[in-house]
Amino acid sequence: MAQNWLRLAASAAGQAGPAEYLARLAADGARAGALQSQYLEKQRALWNALAAGRSATAARPEAGDRRFAAQGWRDNGYFDYLRQSYLLTAEYLEQLVEAAAVEG
């Protein structure tokens, strides 16, 4: 199913498809590897803080981001972990897209 989706997306007229994106990302494997290592280290530190019952500040929402405005996202350790893990993953994916330098 994923292969069919990639083929369909790659055939979109005038736009860079996932196949091109993946090819460009693979061309700079060192950069992608470094980004992945940084991401995994941040996730490990976040998980270790949660397991030790400590508060971690691995990621914070941008000013004005109302998705995590409720106090429970900060007061409950589990939800704080989910919030920060989500933000770390979003940051990592944005960096991967920038690293691929696909025009489209």
Residues 69-90: pLDDT tens digits? 999 988 888 888 899 999 999 9
- Rounded distance between C-alpha atoms, residue 25 and residue 46, angstroms: 27
pLDDT computed for residue 10 by the predictor: 58
Q: Does the global pTM surpass 0.85?
A: no
Place of tokens 């993946």: 22
Residue 12 pLDDT level (bands cut at 50, 70, 90): low
pLDDT tens, position by position, 13-42: 455 666 666 666 666 678 888 999 999 999
Nearest Cα residue to 56 out of 34, 41, 67: 41
Q: Is the pLDDT of residue 5 over 60?
A: no
